[in-house]
Structure 1
Amino acid sequence: MKAAVWRSLARWLLVSLLAAAGLSHLTWGRRGYRIVVPDWATRLTGLDKDAVVVASGVVELMLAGAVATMPRQRSVGWVVGAFFVAVLPGNVHQWRTGRSAPMLRTDRARFIRLLLQPVLVVWAVWSTGDGSRRAG
């Protein structure tokens, strides 16, 4: 299979992941995600835990839409990657406190989630590129 086909497939999988995560933050997983929002996030944003969960779900849906409608836009990939970096401290907090969330009910699952975070960043940037190398 050509690299462009793999990149396109990876991009649509990313769209699906972001959309599913966004929908879960707004619906069936909303209550469970509130449990793992760190107190410092509410102080930093001025939002309550539910609003943080809802906001992250809305952002995930917007990012899914951006990736779907602006294929081969490296800047979109960098924004998605930055989002994955931005939520990393919350994921670390969840792992350290042992709090369960939907699909993350064990320390092992929470730790694997942390290890996958850099993969998500690379995936976002790679899948939204056009495959060409540009000089800085």
Structure 2
Amino acid sequence: MDRSLKQKIGRLGLGAFLVVAGIGHLTFARKEFQAQVPDWVPISKDDTVVYSGFAEIALGSALILANGKHKAKVGKIAAAFFAAVFPGNIAQYKDRRDGFGLDSDSKRLARLFFQPILMAWALKSTGNCSSDES
């Protein structure tokens, strides 16, 4: 399989993942996502989850629909989004909040290591890595 097809599959997969996660923010996993909102966020946990759900749906849709001209920019925005929500994962670990089956310190700690993977996925699948540029 050539690199551009792998990138496209990765980009579409990440986009679909974000759309489903965003829908979860608004519906079936709303309470679970509230466990990740740090106490220092100045708006209610529910509003934060709803707003971030809309952002994830928009970002996922953008990844799915991005053309060659905008693909790299959308990938950078997705990576920045994953970096921006990382404090929520840290808060979930630090405050020992259960959510999404993360019901132990070791599980919550392991979750922290997935955020850089999501960032790399966003960048790699949109051609933002130097080895991807031709």
CA deviation vs aligned residue, 1:13-65 (integer Å, no higher than 9, x gap): 10121012111111111022223321101x2xxx2110000011110000001
Residue of structure 2 in register with 1:37 after alignment: 37
Distance 1:126 1:83 in 2: 15
Distance 2:89 2:39 in 1: 13
Does 1:75 pair with 2:73? yes
Residue of structure 2 in register with 1:132 after alignment: 133
Distance 2:116 2:67 in 1: 21
Indicate if the aligned counterparts of 1:18 and 1:64 stay in contact, CA closer than 8 A.
yes
Residue of structure 1 in register with 2:47 after alignment: 51
Distance 1:99 1:31 in 2: 12
Query: How many residues are paired up?
Result: 129
Gap regions ≥5 residues in structure 2: none
Indicate if the aligned counterparts of 2:16 and 2:64 stay in contact, CA closer than 8 A.
no
Indicate if the aligned counterparts of 2:79 and 2:119 stay in contact, CA closer than 8 A.
yes
The DSSP-based 3-state class of the residue aligned with 2:40 is helix
Q: CA RMSD in A?
A: 1.6
Does 1:108 pair with 2:109? no
Distance 2:46 2:78 in 1: 22
Distance 2:58 2:101 in 1: 23
The DSSP-based 3-state class of the residue aligned with 2:120 is helix
Distance 1:74 1:103 in 2: 33
Residue of structure 1 in register with 2:18 after alignment: 18
Which runs of structure 1 show a deviation greater than 3 angstroms over 4 or more consecutive aligned residues?
A: none
Distance 1:7 1:103 in 2: 30
Residue of structure 1 in register with 2:97 after alignment: 99
The DSSP-based 3-state class of the residue aligned with 1:36 is coil
Indicate if the aligned counterparts of 1:85 and 1:121 stay in contact, CA closer than 8 A.
yes
Residue of structure 1 in register with 2:84 after alignment: 86
CA deviation vs aligned residue, 1:103-135 (integer Å, no higher than 9, x gap): 4233222212210111111110110128324xx
